[in-house]
Chain A
Amino acid sequence: MKTTQILIAGFGGQGILFSGKFLAYKGLMEDLQVSWLPSYGPEMRGGTANCNVILSETPVGSPIITAPDVLIAMNLPSLQKYVNTVVPGGQIYVDSSLIDAKVERTDVQVFYIPATQMAKDENIASLANMIIIGHLLQNHPELSFEGTDAVVNKLVPPKKAALIELNMKALTLGKEYSA
């Protein structure tokens, strides 16, 4: 039985919920059981946002994540809040252009990706989230990079079709990034 619990956290406006949706749809395409649970309410309006995504070979029990296998931290408060909840052996993805701090734990794998800076350099400023997701896919064979274009096509509304290519660019940047 394999279950991956992914917690994505950051500021409202960083595309936290969108990247969660992307992973959930990717999981659905891979025939996994999935759940996606957003934070909602006042914290969404400019404050912190987070999103719980569970991908599993068996039916998902609680959709609420208390001990993530994977944490994506897009700002410092999120990293500080959740760093100690990650299971030993888990992964932490840090947007190192926004977070100077280093993870002190030695029992987890940490990936520092200057995603926000990379996005700025490529003129895709709002897509730092997808750069990190691209890197994450590389590390998760159960999701794989294949078929990502179909997922992006599904998620980007027709009116914003120009974003499809930009999302793919961000995902590819993340995939090819090495520290």
Chain B
Amino acid sequence: MAERVLMKGNEAIAEAAIRAGCRHYFGYPITPQTEIAAYMAKKMPKIGGVFLQAESEIASINMVYGAAAAGMRVMTSSSSPGISLKAEGLSYIAGSDIPAFVVNVQRGGPGLGGIQPSQSDYFQATKGGGHGDYKMIVLAPASVQEMASLTIKGFNLADKYRMTAMILADGTIGQMMEPISFEDAQIETYEKPWALTGTNCERKHNVVNSLYLQPDELEKKNFERYERYKAIEQTEAMWEEYMMEDAELCVVAFGIASRVAKNAVAAARAEGIKVGLIRPITLWPFPTQALNAAADKVKGFISVELSMGQMIEDVRLATQCKRPVALCNRCGGMIPSPDEVLDSIRKAQKGEF
């Protein structure tokens, strides 16, 4: 068995990124993700990589844009308000069809908000955030081990599909320590014939750009991109099912909320309530197939979120409103207790949604 070491979630992301071949980190500090930058600042110079604290979030995402265009494995990380600043760059990266890896360790919002954990950037991550028609692959780790494994997965997927993969974590998972092992890391590499690596006068120039002034050309680009998105939706959705075999109720939760929800599901089972949990691991693509299948078996759903109710809309869409969906939520940096979730489960059991 590989040695288990204790690591903070944020440090696990940084170490996994380095193992995935990332040698370029551009960022700007913000709580609660600064350990990522600190780790990179310490390690990158020792392995011939680049750590650069930019003058702003906007600068750092554009440095990512540049390094990604040159075919490098590159990343940036921030927390909610910082991601809003990066939104323009994320849209340009999407419009240029190049891979990038971005981490959002969420804190309470809107505005400057607070620094405690939150999941209220779900819409921003899964529906856009920047302008225009685009998607990002959104990965939602629920443990320190997943902070690492989904980082490696994120780099792989970003290169495979030439798009941004985002880790959508929260302050709790970022700050906590758990045992972790890097034994199973699967690093994939992809050819990047489109990259700006210099022609050596031997080939035509490559161009990385998001400007298409001819509307028919831009439309064609968007159509092509959405064909790729469709393939991703069909093949890349990831989720975990917990006690769903005989479940009559289904809790849906991701990240730290799913950890709390698991305790509540176990407590409800001890009371004889047949409840299970579906934990989306990818938020985009959303595990529509799993939820739609569950909708044919269960009486209803409970969406547990650290927001005013954002994922609940995708739960309703995925289940085609076949069953009622209740919301159990806290926000602003507060986290529901297992008892609060248990109360929602008990109510749902009585038919109150």
Contacts and interface: CB of A to CB of B under 8 A. Distances in A.
Interface in B137-191: 171-172, 175-179
Interface in A14-72: 21, 24-25, 28, 33-38, 40-42, 60-64, 66
Chain A interface extent, by class: 10 to 19
B1 to A, nearest CB: 10
Given A28-B4, A64-B172, A40 B31 contact: yes
Contacts, number: 62
Nearest to A31: B4
Contact of A66 (B171, B259, B262, B338): B338
A28 B177 CA distance: 12
A117 B141 CA distance: 44
Chain B interface extent, by class: 20 to 34
A41 B108 CA distance: 13
B349 to A, nearest CB: 20
B6 A41 contact: no
Q: Secondary structure at chain A's binding surface: helix, strand, loop or mixed?
A: mixed
Given A21-B6, A35-B177, A66 B339 contact: yes
Given A28-B6, A61-B263, A66-B337, A37 B172 contact: yes
A28 B7 CA distance: 12
A34 B176 CA distance: 11
B179 A63 contact: no
Most-contacted residue by chain A among B6, B260, B266, B338 (CB, 10 A): B6
Interface of A: 21, 24-25, 28, 33-38, 40-42, 60-64, 66
Interface of B: 4, 6, 31-32, 115-116, 171-172, 175-179, 256, 259-260, 262-263, 266, 335, 337-339
A-B pairs, top 6 by smallest CB distance, nearest first, are A36-B177, A61-B263, A37-B176, A62-B260, A61-B262, A62-B259
